[in-house]
Amino acid sequence: MTKHDLIGPGGMAAGADLIDFETRLASLKAALPGKVPALGAPFPAITLVFAVSDGTARAVTAQGSGADLDAAWALATLALRKVMARRKLRGRFLRVDWVEKAETWTWSLLRKRLREVKRNYCRRGIALDAGFGRLFLEQELNAQAMLYGGNQVTHCVVNEKNFLLAAQQKYGTGTTVDFRDDGAVHVLETAGLFCGEDGIVRELYGNGRNAGRRKIEPLDHTRLSDIIRDSSDFLARQVGNDGRFVYGYHPCFDRQIPAYNALRHASTTYSMLEAWEKTRQPELLAAVERALDHLTTQFIQTCDDKAFVVDTGNEIKLGANATAILAMSKYTALLGSDRFAAVMEKLAQGILHMQAEDGSFTHVLTWPSLEVKEKFRIVYYEGEAAFALMRLYSLTKDERWIGAVERAFGHFIEKDYWKHHDHWLSYCTNELTLYRPELRYFRFGIQNFEGYLDFVLQRVTTFPTLLELMMAGRKMLDRLKAMPEGAELLAGVDETRFDQALHFRAAYLLNGHFWPEYAMFFRNPDRILGSFFIRHHAFRVRIDDVEHYLSGLVAYAGLLETAAAGDAV
């Protein structure tokens, strides 16, 4: 096993030499000259803000301002040592930011500008005074929900309650904040450096959508492998001894999400198997097997020759049967086991029970009566069902399964389902065309992403399923190129634009990763290290959120491997 095999959350090699705090502090100082611009009056020329955490609690900050870098460094490090001594911190995660730009606004103007910014997407810091005596980095503002108005408010707002609480925790219980509309507030752009226990100084992006996380350019296979390992390890840690997941967290205040969802249990297990195919980590496979045991013993009910995944509220969801098959069929393909053959057969029969003669599906039944509860709930169920039947067909070559998929595609094509731009349908179309390489199916697959490329390039949220959509589309295009009759379809595809969108989206997903330099600002950094979050849902970390990031990046890693192999030939 190589050192690279031991990489853990944050890129730290387990067993690697830990670099002492003073050495890391000196490394940060050595990296600063030439990076920190001087500001003009009325602001301090140079302001440095240290953040430090041992991973078990939210980072604390210490700052200093001066006429030059040395003066600011001296004051900031003095404050840093004091707070570390008081908190008994050893400085596992260490970060220094500096103010690159400052503007003075009123609170009224700030509120107005925040209404134009998507919830949790404010990427600037705030100082309450021109001398920066009371200052909050962007990461502090977001990690403590200081600009969050709840899940019903789509834009950023000044949450006065959370803001005052954070200010008092940071600067003392007597701290007050004047939120009056005509009061002055100073809006900051910052950049920084991070140094973990490995001693490597990592430059962080400044203002913009990438703000606050390490610069990775380009996203190569080695870095991607580390991310896949970290995120799949996170999922493995969520699987208890009984095989049940911790469903998720609201990390701003370290609150566990109490809900559960058998469909997402199964689909997350599927993504873990995709990751295991690359990492071969034994702990990951052990977690997968516990999760599969829990799925089969706690959620699956049999009725004659059919089986159904029965979820909360005695619901039978079409998508739950599908994702259970996906997880089991992936396990079967990777391990060469027939352990789930019988139950997959019955689950597939359950899907056929929910399919009408015209190929359409009923989405939700009630257990045990099998009465229709909802004819339609969410379009994704149908793509999941068709994809699952294709994966089962790939194992058994049973014509029942591909016949059902072709009936479904007749319905999808007639009803223009490509308009949904569903990643599951992209997966399924790619799989179907392996065995039925008919132009009508390829045309549907192209329509599924055609006209959507601008959205993929411009969407401000990470939207991880977009990468899944694009990766399945890329595979279809590659096979279509080998078909003489495919030239007409390919003529309408802007492949340059397609690949630009695909690579952009893959790199953009890194903005949703809990790197240590970002996780350190949340209440319990170790809990979320290596995971992925949904920023506009208050940085929610849920198993299915991580699943979609992971599936897309695993597929992208395969693309990079193929490209590297081609370059090596």
* Pair (383, 499) in one structural domain: yes
* Statement to judge: residues 411 and 265 lie in one domain: yes
* Domain contains 537: no
Residue 217 confidence (pLDDT) = 87
Is 533 domain-assigned? no
Tokens 């001594």: give the residue.
Answer: 85
Task: Extract the tokens encoding 290.
Answer: 């516990």
Binning pLDDT at 50, 70 and 90, where does residue 7 land?
very low
Q: Say whether pLDDT at 17 is over 70.
A: no
| Cα dihedral 500, 502, 505, 509 in deg (nearest 10) | -140
The pTM for the full model equals: 0.94
Peptide bond into 218 cis (omega under 30): yes
What's the token pair of residue 357? 């003669």
Indicate if 51 and 167 belong to the same structural domain: yes
Residue 212 maps to a domain: no
Secondary structure (3-state) at 476: helix
283 and 198, same domain (yes or no): no
Q: Are residues 314 and 401 in the same domain?
A: yes
Whether residues 185 and 268 share a domain: the answer is no
Residue 102 neighbours by CB under 8 Å, 6+ apart: 39, 43, 127, 132, 186, 187, 188, 189
Residue 475, CB-side half-sphere exposure with 13 Å CA sphere: 19
Give the count of domains, the chain. 2
- Asked if residue 460 and residue 346 are part of one domain, the reply reads yes
Q: State the DSSP code for 56.
A: S
Q: How far is CA 318 from the centre of its chain?
A: 25
Among residues 489, 512, 535, the one where a domain terminates is 512
Burial 301-313 (b: 16+ CB within 10 A, else e): eeeeebbbbbbee
Task: Calculate mean pLDDT across residues 343-356.
Answer: 98
Return phi, psi of residue 215, to 5°.
Answer: -80, 125
Which CATH number does the domain housing residue 294 bear? 1.50.10.20
**Nearest by Cα to 279 from 31, 560, 5:** 5
Of 360, 415, 404, nearest in space to 382 by CA:
360
Residues 268 and 150 in one domain: no
Residue 528 lies in a domain: no
Q: How far apart are CA 543 and CA 66, in angstroms?
A: 45
Question: Do 191 and 96 have their domain in common?
Answer: yes
Whether 527 and 251 have beta carbons less than 8 Å apart is answered as yes
For residue range 390-431, list pLDDT tens digits in order. 999 999 999 999 999 999 999 999 999 999 999 999 999 999
Supply the pLDDT for residue 10.
Answer: 42
**Residue 298: its pLDDT value, please?**
98
Which domain, by its residues, includes 463? 260-512
Tokens 């689909």 belong to 267
Looking at 480, 496, 512, which one is the last position of a domain? 512
For 251-351, list the strands marked E by DSSP: 255-256, 300-303, 306-311, 315-317
> Per-residue pLDDT for 317 more than 50?
yes
Summarised one tens digit per residue, pLDDT across range 457-511 is 999 999 999 999 999 999 999 999 999 999 999 998 999 999 999 999 999 999 9
3-state secondary structure 6-44: HECHHHCECCCCCCCHHHHHHHHHHHCCCCCCCCCCCCC
- Statement: residue 214 has pLDDT above 60: yes
548 in a structural domain: no
Please check whether residue 409 lies inside any domain of the structure. yes
Identify the pLDDT of residue 568.
57
Clarify whether residues 399 and 505 are in a common domain: yes
The answer to whether position 31 is within a domain reads yes
Structure confidence at residue 565 (pLDDT) = 79
Cβ proximity of 401 and 329 under 8 Å: no
Q: What angle separates helix 282-294 from helix 262-279, to the nearest 10 degrees?
A: 160
End position of a domain, from candidates 204, 220, 244:
204
**Integer Cα distance of 433 and 477 in angstroms:** 11
Sheet of 541-542, strands arranged across? 255-256, 248-250, 541-542
Instruction: Tell me if 550 is assigned to some domain.
Output: no
State residue 564's pLDDT score. Answer: 82
Residues 270 and 143 occupy one common structural domain:
no
- The pLDDT tens digits for 365-380 are 999 999 999 999 999 9
Tell me the residue ranges of DSSP E strands in 58-200: 60-66, 93-106, 125-127, 135-136, 184-195
| Per-residue pLDDT at 9 | 42
Q: Are residues 175 and 264 located together in one domain of the fold?
A: no
Q: Which two tokens stand for residue 194?
A: 């991070």
Residues 233-273: tens digit of each pLDDT:
999 999 999 999 999 999 999 999 999 999 999 999 999 99
